[in-house]
């Protein structure tokens, strides 16, 4: 039996009269590449926001590595080993790529942190992540001067700088050209082989099917199917609603 990394039980969240999560009970597998798919409005990003503390669920439980993290502040959840990217990149536009990555691990605030980030070891580690993502040549460039795909890679570098055990990626393929998309896919599999767990929200089915070990399908705020790609590909509900077959 595969261990559980991240799980929710009866998670609920409504915005006014609109129910975004409707009793979502989900388990993602430790040490695997998990995917969360479903149509727009099915609750995927709200789920990520509740799990990572960006918003508080109305009810239900979020657990990670056996610990209840429901409703904790994002920085406290991050300290448990959860890292997360966003649909819309969250970088500091007037800071260089290197400064963006260094800022991801500073505990005393941005300005004070950057002053203390001149330690050679931290700079070397930040540069190693930029290199691994193929954007080391942009280390001195401000984030605002980078392409959308490059900013996606930069955001991911910042997340990885904090050394999370589990990484949540929110639509990593969105607006990314095929070459960069291939790089992201290869990197996810490499990092997974090194021991990191992934949970990926994504609409690009080619990417999902090629890199995922376990897939959860959402509809109307709750899971309707789960399993390996081979099972999801043949599930009638998924075929009809999401894969267009």
Q: What's this model's pTM, rounded to 2 decimal places?
A: 0.88
Whether 34 has a pLDDT exceeding 90, the answer reads: yes
Q: Which two tokens stand for residue 163?
A: 């050394």
Quickly state the pLDDT bin for 89 (edges 50, 70, 90).
Answer: confident
* pLDDT higher at 118 or 237: 237
Q: pLDDT-derived band of residue 63, with 50, 70 and 90 as boundaries?
A: very high
Task: Summarize pLDDT for 152-185 with one digit per residue, the tens.
Answer: 899 999 999 999 999 999 988 877 788 888 888 8
Q: Are 158 and 91 in contact (CB under 8 A)?
A: yes
Give 45-57 pLDDT, tens digit per residue.
Answer: 999 999 999 999 9
Residue range 186-231, pLDDT digits in tens: 999 999 999 999 999 988 888 999 999 999 999 889 999 999 999 9
- State how far the Cα of 200 lies from the Cα of 207, in Å rounded to an integer: 10
Please answer whether residues 217 and 238 qualify as being in contact, where contact means their C-beta atoms are separated by less than 8 angstroms: yes
Helix (H, G, I), strand (E, B) or coil at 57: coil
User: At 117, is the secondary structure helix, strand, or coil?
Assistant: coil
CA–CA distances in Å: residue 245 to residues 117, 143, 170 = 52, 40, 25
The full set of domains in the chain, from first to last, is 1-81+164-245 (3.40.50.300), 91-163 (no CATH)
Q: Is residue 85 a contact partner of residue 159, using CB atoms and an 8 Å limit?
A: yes
């Amino acid at each position: 039996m595969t261990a559980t990394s991240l799980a929710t039980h009866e998670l609920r969240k409504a915005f006014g009269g609109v129910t975004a999560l409707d009793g979502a009970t989900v388990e993602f597998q430790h040490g695997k590449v998990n995917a969360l798919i479903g149509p727009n409005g099915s609750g995927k990003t709200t789920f990520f926001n509740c799990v990572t503390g960006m918003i508080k669920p109305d009810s239900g439980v979020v657990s990670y590595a056996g610990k209840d993290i429901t409703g904790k502040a994002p920085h406290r959840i991050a300290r448990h080993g959860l890292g997360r990217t966003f649909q819309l990149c969250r970088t500091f536009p007037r800071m260089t790529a290197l400064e963006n990555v260094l800022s991801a691990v500073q505990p005393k605030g941005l300005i004070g942190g950057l002053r203390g980030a001149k330690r050679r070891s931290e700079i070397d580690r930040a540069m190693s992540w930029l290199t691994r993502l193929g954007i080391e040549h942009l280390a001195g460039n401000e984030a605002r001067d980078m392409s959308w795909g490059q900013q996606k890679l930069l955001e991911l570098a910042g997340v990885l700088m904090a050394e999370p055990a589990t990484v949540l990626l929110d639509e990593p393929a969105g607006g990314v050209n095929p070459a960069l998309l291939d790089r992201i896919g290869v990197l996810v599999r490499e990092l997974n082989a090194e021991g990191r767990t992934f949970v990926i929200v994504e609409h690009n089915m080619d990417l999902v099917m090629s890199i995922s070990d376990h897939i959860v399908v959402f509809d109307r705020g709750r899971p309707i199917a789960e399993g390996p790609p081979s099972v999801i590909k043949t599930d009638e509900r998924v075929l009809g609603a999401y894969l267009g077959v």
